[in-house]
């Protein structure tokens, strides 16, 4: 039997397929989000990699920002619960999840049983989200994936004082014009985003094990920066971007079994 989880974010789509024994058969992610053919593409890719067809899927759960408009799922569950589920499965003993996605950031607290018992989301602006890093990468004229390596070369701490992404953008442009090194700006951007999200984490209360998920967790420099901010070691969930999709697939199996 096969169970599909689809996580439709604002800037990327992810899918995961598991079998009835919770074995993970595939996890895929693409950087195209809701309102596009992104969800269909990731689902097709996932099916292809497992070598099955759509009608062999026993139950589908959709999650993420685009879950409500996605009509092909049997059920929709929020990304909060799905991230909780996915992390509890991948990292036993996890109590705090820091998830930084494209358009939002959230901190989720898990109880000893691995169930969500509290969560906080950032308010609606782009500060403290992946979008902030995207904007920074664009100004620094590098790919998002190169930001981490660049930041590691930083020799001098600089501070980006504006919270607002739009203002921060012009602040950084003037810093670069004054000759600040690109590496220092990249590290400054990491500091900026992690300090916002660390604030959220402190509000909810941090209990180890702390796990990071979401695409931004692939940026090693951000993770190290976050560790410094919160004063705890951080485990990056394996394949962090698809943890929500995996959680959705696990819920699909659970819901199917309950029926």
Partner 1 sequence: MADIKSLIAEFEKVALNPAKSAAELKKETGKKLIGMFPYHLPEEIVYAAGMLPVGMWGGQTEIKLSNKYLQSFCCSMIKANFEMGMNKTYQKVLDGVVMAAYCDTLKCICEDWKVAVTDMPLIAMYYPQNRKIAAAIDYMGAEFKKAQEQLEAIAGKKVTEADLEAAWEVYEAYRAESRKFVKLVAKMPKTLNATVRHLVIKAAWFMDKKVYTEKLAALNAAIEAAPAEEFNGKKVLVEGIMVEPIALLDAFVENDVCIIGDDLSHQSRMFRIEGRKEGTVYEKMAYRIADAYADPLLLDEKKEHGKELIDMVKEYGADGVVVCAMKFCDPEEYDYPIFKEELEAANIPVLYMEIEQQMESVGQYKTRIQAFAETLA
Interface positions with partner 1 (CB under 8 A): 65, 68, 77-81, 104, 115-121, 123-124
Which residue lies nearer to partner 1 by CB, 10 or 40? 10
Closest separation between CB of residue 124 and partner 1, Å?
6
H or E segment and range at residue 99:
strand 96-100
CB nearer to partner 1: give 123 or 157. 123
Q: How far is the CB of 81 from partner 1 (least distance, A)?
A: 5
HSE-CB for 217 with a 13 A CA cutoff? 22
Output the CA–CA distances (angstroms, integers) from residue 71 to 8, 45, 59, 236, 257, in the order listed. 12, 19, 13, 32, 22
Give the DSSP H or E segment for 27: strand 24-30
**Nearer CB in complex with partner 1: 104/239:** 104
Nearer to partner 1, 68 or 166 (CB): 68
Strand-pairing partners, residue 2, are 19, 57
Count Cβ atoms below 10 Å from residue 166 Cβ, excluding itself: 11
**What Å distances lie between residue 74 and 60, 63, 238, 249, 255, CA to CA?**
5, 11, 27, 11, 10
Q: From the CB of 109, what's the least distance to partner 1, in Å?
A: 10
d(CA 106, CA 201): 8
Cβ(255)–Cβ(25) under 8 Å?
no
> Which C-beta is closer to partner 1: that of 124 or that of 177?
124
Quote the least distance from Cβ 163 to partner 1, whole Å.
Answer: 14
The residue among 27 and 67 lying less far from partner 1, judged by its C-beta, is: 67
Least distance from partner 1 to the Cβ atom of residue 219, Å: 24
* Structure token digits, residue 21: 């024994």
- Cα–Cα distance measured from residue 144 to residue 135, given in angstroms and rounded to the nearest whole number: 9
Q: How far is the CB of 243 from partner 1 (least distance, A)?
A: 16
């Amino acid at each position: 039997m096969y169970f599909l989880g689809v996580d439709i974010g604002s800037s990327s789509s992810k899918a995961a397929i598991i079998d009835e024994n919770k074995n993970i058969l595939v996890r895929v992610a693409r950087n195209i989000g809701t309102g596009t053919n992104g969800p269909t593409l990731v689902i097709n890719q996932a099916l292809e990699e497992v070598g099955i067809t759509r009608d062999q899927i026993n139950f589908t759960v959709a999650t993420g920002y685009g879950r409500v408009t996605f009509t092909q799922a049997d059920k929709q569950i929020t990304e909060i619960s799905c991230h909780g589920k996915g992390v509890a499965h991948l990292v036993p003993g996890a109590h705090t999840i820091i998830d930084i996605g494209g358009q939002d950031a959230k901190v989720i607290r898990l109880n000893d049983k691995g169930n969500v018992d509290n969560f906080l989301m950032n308010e609606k602006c782009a500060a403290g989200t992946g979008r902030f890093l995207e904007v920074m990468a664009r100004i620094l004229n590098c790919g998002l994936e190169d930001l981490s390596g660049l930041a590691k070369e930083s020799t001098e701490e600089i501070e980006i004082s504006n919270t607002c992404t739009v203002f921060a953008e012009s602040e950084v442009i003037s810093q670069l014009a004054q000759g600040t090194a690109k590496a220092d700006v990249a590290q400054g951007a990491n500091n900026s985003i992690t300090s916002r999200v660390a604030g959220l984490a402190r509000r909810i209360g941090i209990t180890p094990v702390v796990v990071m998920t979401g695409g931004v967790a692939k940026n090693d420099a951000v993770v190290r920066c976050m560790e410094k901010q919160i004063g705890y070691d951080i485990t990056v969930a394996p394949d962090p971007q698809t943890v929500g999709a995996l959680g959705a697939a696990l819920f699909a199996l659970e819901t199917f079994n309950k029926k």
